[in-house]
Structure 1
């Protein structure tokens, strides 16, 4: 392994480690855990609600900056008939920045789906045929894409799950591998979030 590769890997890992506490805290928040009647949805309606807070501390996002984040969406829900909670969490990331005054044009968010979340990217027809239910993730994927989130899926994960590219939602780009995608965005300096 060359020194440049080692440095790139170290950079991705360092970024990942700095983002873990934020990710762990975010995982505990979920509209289904209550307070959904108080949730607001400033950008993505129906998904990723955030509870308004009056925090006055130094950890507020700067609305003049652009935030570059790669979301490593590995986990999915257990029930194919229910929304993948990690996609709801991704919508929450968009909404929480917006709730703090950051325009969606200042969010450079990329989501790479793989692992258990791979099935989320299937077309309605393919999902219905495989699972016998409508794809509960189609609407949130459309909403995320409309909000400017670049949606990608790991080609290796598709192959391992016998999902052809024709079975992939047209709003999702197929990449060679999540490993390649994560390394590429890490080298570009994107912050890393693991879902």
Structure 2
């Protein structure tokens, strides 16, 4: 009868774990590579908001419509070293609709940051004090602003989050409150997407 001592068992377990991990990483890397092949960069905002082209979608994109959309972003950053995922969603909205043929002038987006979303609006210096890294959302905020997106910050949230006026990045405009911004934008015909 074959018996294994504890040292042999440990080596066998470690070997099995290493093989399993390598197989898992290979499968994950392979599937991630496949999914990246369908993603498009731009055409309006490069390096952010990558999207998939779906020309055969059953609900067709109305390329004549004016898309007045406001993104309400109130969640805190999940990973302080990555751009805010909801800002990425706004960039994706711009890119995928432009790619689908919606004229740039028909894409009218606004973003309202409040609550936990306030931190995404901080300058690099202010962000570095809190997280020891530059604000990874700042290049995305600038790219969104350059593409014509208006970005508003709830001043109530800024104060409650302990951020000074000088700690907010330049493309971001102040609003009395998120509630005020939401009501004003809705009155102007914007449709709200809450994230």
- The answer to whether TM tops 0.5 is yes
> What is aligned with 1:27?
none
Name which one, 1 or 2, has greater alpha-carbon Rg.
2
> What is aligned with 1:51?
52
| TM-score, normalised via structure 2 length | 0.78
- Give the Å deviation of 1:115: 1.4
| TM-score, normalised via structure 1 length | 0.78
Question: Could you tell me how far apart the structure 1 residues matched to 2:141 and 2:184 are?
Answer: 23
Question: Could you tell me how far apart the structure 1 residues matched to 2:59 and 2:50 are?
Answer: 23
- Name which structure has the greater RCO, CA cutoff 8 Å, separation 6+: 1
Question: Could you tell me how far apart the structure 2 residues matched to 1:136 and 1:169 are?
Answer: 12
Question: Could you tell me how far apart the structure 2 residues matched to 1:37 and 1:49 are?
Answer: 11
- Give the Å deviation of 1:58: 4.6
- Give the Å deviation of 1:34: 6.8
Q: Superposed, which structure 2 residues align to 1:26-175 within 5 Å? A: 35-40=35-40, 41-55=42-56, 57-62=58-63, 64-175=64-175
Cα displacement string for residues 123-171 of structure 1 (whole angstroms, at most 9, x for unaligned residues): 1111112221111101110111111110111101100001111110011
Query: Which sections of structure 2, spanning at least 5 residues, go unmatched?
Result: 1-31
Query: Which sections of structure 1, spanning at least 5 residues, go unmatched?
Result: 1-31
Question: Could you tell me how far apart the structure 1 residues matched to 2:136 and 2:34 are?
Answer: 21
